[in-house]
Structure 1
Amino acid sequence: MKSLIETIVEPLVDHPAEIVVTEREEENKIVYHLEVHENDVGKVIGKNGRIAKSIRTVVYAAGMKSNKKIYLDIM
């Protein structure tokens, strides 16, 4: 899942080397934290959060196979 998130975000940002995805797993959910360069945050979130919502939709759909709920936080 980490590689999927990195693959989606990499073309959107100017500093792809600074993409950091961390994973925290709990008993009924998995939380992914996405960190990008401070100048790229707006590009990842998009106008009115549209890009962030699209990224989350793809990640949630890919995580449907697992029995745990998937969350994506953009830092």
Structure 2
Amino acid sequence: MEAFLDYVIKGLVSRPEAVSIRSVRRGGTVVYEVRVDPADMGKVIGKNGVTINAIRSLVLAGGGKRGQHCVVEVSEAGRR
């Protein structure tokens, strides 16, 4: 799933070298923490959140096939 996120997110942004993805287990949930350059936040989120919601839906469905509950969180690089 991390490779899928890496491919999709890097394809959307202007600065793919600034993208970092980390997976963290919280209880029974796998949280993918995606960090992007502040200038690329709008591209990842999309108008009215359409792009990030589509990405989240695909990750949730892919995780469900593997028996995992997956969540995607996006933040600017350098922030926690």
Same fold (TM over 0.5): yes
Aligned counterpart, 2:46: 46
Shift in Å, 1:69? 1.1
Aligned counterpart, 1:55: 55
The answer on 1:22 being equivalent to 2:39 is no
Tell me the C-alpha RMSD between the 2 structures: 1.0
How many pairs does the alignment contain?
Answer: 75
Shift in Å, 1:26? 2.9
SS in 2 for 1:14: coil
CA distance in 2, matches of 1:36, 1:74: 8
Shift in Å, 1:65? 2.2
Aligned counterpart, 1:68: 68
Greater displacement, 63-72 / 34-43? 63-72
- Identity over aligned residues, as a percent? 29
Q: Which runs of 5+ in 2 are unaligned?
A: 76-80
CA distance in 2, matches of 1:8, 1:18: 14
Q: Which runs of 5+ in 1 are unaligned?
A: none
TM-score of the superposed pair, with normalisation by structure 1:
0.92
CA distance in 1, matches of 2:54, 2:12: 13
Which AA in structure 2 matches 1:28? Answer: G
